[in-house]
Amino acid sequence: MTIATLFISFALLFSNSNSMGTYCDICNEVIVTEYYMDAWGNKFHSEHLENGVYCNTCSRIISKGLTGGGFEFNDGRRMCKLCSTSMINTEHLKIKSIGNVLNILGDAGISIDDKLVSINLVDRESLQNATYSISKHSKESIKGYTYYNNQNYVINILWGLNQLEFEGVLAHELLHVWVDYNNIKLNKSKLEGFCNLGSGLIYDSYSIELANILKLSLENNPNPIYGKGYKYMNSLLDIYGWEKLTTMLQNN
């Protein structure tokens, strides 16, 4: 699911019955008849839905009024100003977020020796080339990849992600490490679904609306591996909780 598709799937159509008029949150013009409202509660004309430029993190339409503007990366990704204020683009910020994720996973009973893992920020082209033909991700959506090299797990994550999105991707990749290190055998759907539980765990730990939006993207993902797998593994998590679920996986 692309960000634009995610945005459109969240946008609901309403009829304007307000005689005083409803104003568009993007162009500030009066909406005379029908209008759309996104997951953030923003109202806008229908033409903006089709012609808008979307933030690759939060899915908002980038505009001066709505997001304070935004920018485009050299690789074609776009980010609004709201999401760029917490971008992971330095070693210091990366290390801080790694600590956050390891602590959250640890609290859920998932212990990972960070000495076994190397975590790198890489450009989009390098990430796409490394995963081409061996990943089920589309080239446009790939944000992280893990492989084993010389007795060390290497996690490559896309440079310039918003902090929350970076931590969600990292948690997903660290669960790949945990599964492999514990020699757990799962089919592709269950494996990716379980790793997506890590992303969901991160989003649940933040009391901000972006976390809810990113969590919804997991739940609404139509992909037969990542989406269906997440729904199945999340149903097991609801029944057993983290401690019993991880124990079951290790004993299987």
Q: How confident is the model at residue 19 (pLDDT cuts 50, 70, 90)?
A: very low
Confidence at residue 3, expressed as pLDDT on a 0 to 100 scale: 47
As a whole number of angstroms, the distance between CA 44 and CA 98 comes to 38
Q: Are residue 43 and residue 156 in the same domain, yes or no?
A: no
Cβ atoms 108, 97 nearer than 8 A: no
User: At residue 108, does pLDDT exceed 60?
Assistant: yes
Closest CA to 77 of 64, 94, 89: 89
Which pLDDT score is estimated for 214?
93
Domain count, the chain: 2
The tens digit of pLDDT for each residue in 61-75 reads 888 888 999 999 999
What CATH number is given to the structural domain containing 74? 2.10.110
Residue 6, pLDDT above cutoff 90: no
Whether residue 25 sits in one domain with residue 133: no
Side-chain half-sphere CA neighbours of 42 within 13 A: 24
Q: Indicate if 47 and 127 belong to the same structural domain.
A: no
Is 105:176 a contact under the CB 8 Å cutoff? no
Round to whole Å and give the CA distance between 180 and 183: 5
Find tokens 């599964």 and name the residue: 179
Q: Name the percent of the chain lying above pLDDT 70.
A: 88
For residue 152, give the DSSP letter.
S
Tell me which residue range forms the domain holding 27: 3-84
Q: Which of 183, 200, 182 is nearest to 242 (CA)?
A: 200
- For residues 98 and 33, state if they share a domain: no
Report residue 134's pLDDT band, with 50, 70 and 90 as the boundaries.
low
Q: Are residue 64 and residue 103 in the same domain, yes or no? A: no
- Domain boundary (66, 84, 102) is at 84
pLDDT band at 142 (very low <50, low <70, confident <90, very high): confident
Assess whether pLDDT exceeds 80 at residue 228: yes
The model's pLDDT over 150-200, given as tens digits with 9 standing for 90+, comes to 889 999 999 999 999 999 999 999 999 999 999 999 999 999 999 999 999
Name the average pLDDT for the chain: 87
What are the φ/ψ torsions at residue 195 (nearest 5 degrees)? -65, -35
120 in the same domain as 50 = no
Task: Tell me: do 98 and 77 sit in the same domain.
Answer: no
Calculate helix-pair angle for 3-10, 209-219, nearest 10 degrees: 100
Point out the domain boundary residue: 25, 57, 84: 84
Per-residue pLDDT at 21 exceeds 70: no
- Quick one: 36 and 151 in the same domain? no
Same domain for 139 and 21 = no
pTM for the structure as a whole = 0.88
Q: What per-residue confidence (pLDDT) applies to 4? A: 45
The token pair at 89 is 């683009």
Report which secondary-structure segment, H or E, holds 108. Answer: none
Mean pLDDT within 99-123: 95
Do 145 and 182 belong to one domain? Answer: yes
What are the tokens at 40?
């953030």
Q: What angle do CA 99, 114, 221 make, to 5 degrees?
A: 70
Distances (CA, A) of 207 to 24, 99, 144, 164: 27, 19, 24, 11
The angle at the Cα of 175, spanning 95 to 1, to the nearest 5 degrees, equals 95
In angstroms, rounded to a whole number, what is the distance separating the alpha carbons of residues 38 and 210?
13
Do residues 39 and 95 both lie within one domain? no
Confidence check: pLDDT of 99 > 60: yes
* Rg over CA atoms, the chain: 20
**What is the pLDDT at residue 51?**
79
**Which among 67, 84, 101 is the end of a domain?**
84
What is the structure's pLDDT at 208?
A: 95
Instruction: Please provide the size of the chain in residues.
Output: 252
Whether residue 120 sits in one domain with residue 35: no
